[in-house]
Structure 1
Amino acid sequence: MCALVVTGTGLTGCGGEDPDAGTNGVGKLTAAQIQTRTKQAAGAAKTVRLAGTVVTNGTTYTLDMRLKEDGGTGSVTSKKSTFRLLRVGEHLYLKADADFWSDPDGSGGTSADTDVADKLSGMYVKVPSDDPAYKRFSGFTDKDVLLDGLLTLQGDLATDGYHEQSGVRTFRITGDDGSGGSLDVSLEGTAYPLLLVRAGNAGTLRLTDWGKDFALKEPDKKETVDYGQELPSS
């Protein structure tokens, strides 16, 4: 028998072997149908891990987030700052070191800033729902909002053949021949999106651990600071 051969451009076979044999059939669909199916699969999944970069409003964020229907947790790096986000239901917490709290925008902190920063360092700081930071960061912990905004390619959709991501066979679709982004969809099992390259060099994300549950709970009160109606720095 002739086996499929994985090449840099995708999967090929000899003797006219069907490249869709043993797959979920995504490779036989149109690009629009594939995008619809993968969005449905992502929406139905209870959990996902999302890692990579997102560029928004001129700022590059490096994410490593685990998301589920009622919240999410993980790390975010922006400029020189790395912090952790945790959302359980409507409660959003931010955890960072003293440098983040004393000098969040790189402008230089005051002695008062330093005193506050020392108290907040390593603590889960509850983000008030009406603080600008809540709207800015809660989206990184919202599975539905984040995926709805990411999984739509721009421009005319087209198929781009068979590929492979981390040992999993995939089928790729693109927007405007790649300038509108590309999406690799699993050919094995459920048609989950596995790799997203965003339009306009706006980041690359890997999506893994679909459906793998993880613990999500409120932080211990000893590790939590409730700063009231407004965070000490924006």
Structure 2
Amino acid sequence: MAALCVLAVSALTLLTGCGEEDPDAGTNGVGRLPARKIQTQSRAAADAAPAVHLAGTVVTGGVTFTLDMRLKSGGGSGSVTSKGSTFQLLRVGDELYVKADAAFWNHGGDTSAAGKLDGKYVKVPQQDPAYRKFSGFTEKDVLLPALLTLHGELATAGHHTQAGTRTIRVTGDGGPGGTLDVSLEGKPYPLRLVRGGGAGTLTFSEWGKDFPAAEPAKSETVDYGGQLPGS
């Protein structure tokens, strides 16, 4: 009789072990939601986060921009590379600064002005066309809503990992409308975005982690006093 009991318990254990594991066990539960609700909760988490670090590429108007930016409500800082040229951006409140080498500023052939701006934080006047062009890269409340958009019919596309974190993937039109990997650990933050139409790929990390964003020293700053070269 004892042997039969042991055999029965062993059989039950074997049968239980053969069942598929729940991929959402121990997660925040968003993987069990419909795709549109996952996207909605992910956007809400991103909007509520005080800061984020994003890196990757954005293609717009046929031009590829490589971004490495840290964003928060009161400012942003990081680098942007386009057409082989890299420049630094720093925004503190409404004050925007661009830092680049002389080659970046020499678009109009004014080598004298380019030499003065070389390697300095150049304050961008708010009425300058360059202000709107550059500030968008530093504004969390502007950039994230524009990026975190999938097009077409939404669906889930399985469980994945991003930098060691478990994710659920949401697709637009099965992929051509973009894909978004959402964290299954902690808050449902967006962790990886592949934009539809080959418009770039971005990763998101350090959600909620603050970073310094202070105005540069006067010795490192130039107030050009007019429209910037190449604006």
TM-score w.r.t. length of structure 1: 0.89
Structure 1 segments of 4 or more deviating over 3 A?
Answer: none
Aligned counterpart, 1:157: 154
Q: Which sections of structure 2, spanning at least 5 residues, go unmatched?
A: 1-16
CA contact (8 A) 1:130 1:229 kept: no
More helix by percentage = 2
Structure with greater Cα Rg: 2
Identity, in percent, stands at: 68
Selected match of 1:94 from 93, 98, 104: 98
Selected match of 1:170 from 164, 167, 172: 167
Q: CA deviation at 1:228?
A: 2.0
Give CA deviations for 1:2-55 in whole Å, capped at 9, x if unaligned.
xxxxxxxxxxx9522211110000110001000100000000100100000001
Aligned counterpart, 1:192: 189
The reply on whether 1:31 has 2:35 as its aligned counterpart is yes
Aligned counterpart, 1:213: 210
Q: CA deviation at 1:126?
A: 0.7
CA contact (8 A) 1:186 1:192 kept: yes
5 Å-filtered alignment, 1:1-234, equals 15-103=19-107, 110=109, 113-234=110-231
CA contact (8 A) 2:106 2:229 kept: no
Aligned residue type for 1:68:
K
Q: CA deviation at 1:233?
A: 2.4
Q: CA deviation at 1:232?
A: 2.5
Aligned residue type for 1:122:
G
CA contact (8 A) 1:47 1:212 kept: yes
* 2:230 aligned counterpart, secondary structure: coil
Evaluate the alpha carbon distance shift between residue 14 and residue 219 of structure 1 in structure 2; reply closer, same or farther with a 3 A threshold: farther
Q: CA deviation at 1:85?
A: 0.3
Evaluate the alpha carbon distance shift between residue 14 and residue 230 of structure 1 in structure 2; reply closer, same or farther with a 3 A threshold: farther
| 2: CA distance, partners of 1:16 / 1:100 | 57
CA contact (8 A) 1:53 1:205 kept: yes
* 2:177 aligned counterpart, secondary structure: coil
CA contact (8 A) 1:73 1:141 kept: yes
TM-score w.r.t. length of structure 2: 0.91
CA contact (8 A) 2:53 2:69 kept: yes
Q: Which sections of structure 1, spanning at least 5 residues, go unmatched?
A: 1-12, 104-108
Aligned pair count reads 215
| 1: CA distance, partners of 2:21 / 2:174 | 27
* 2:55 aligned counterpart, secondary structure: strand
| 2: CA distance, partners of 1:165 / 1:189 | 14
CA contact (8 A) 1:95 1:122 kept: yes
Q: Cα RMSD between the aligned structures?
A: 1.2
* 2:213 aligned counterpart, secondary structure: coil
Give CA deviations for 1:134-163 in whole Å, capped at 9, x if unaligned.
111111000011111111100111110100
Aligned residue type for 2:85:
S
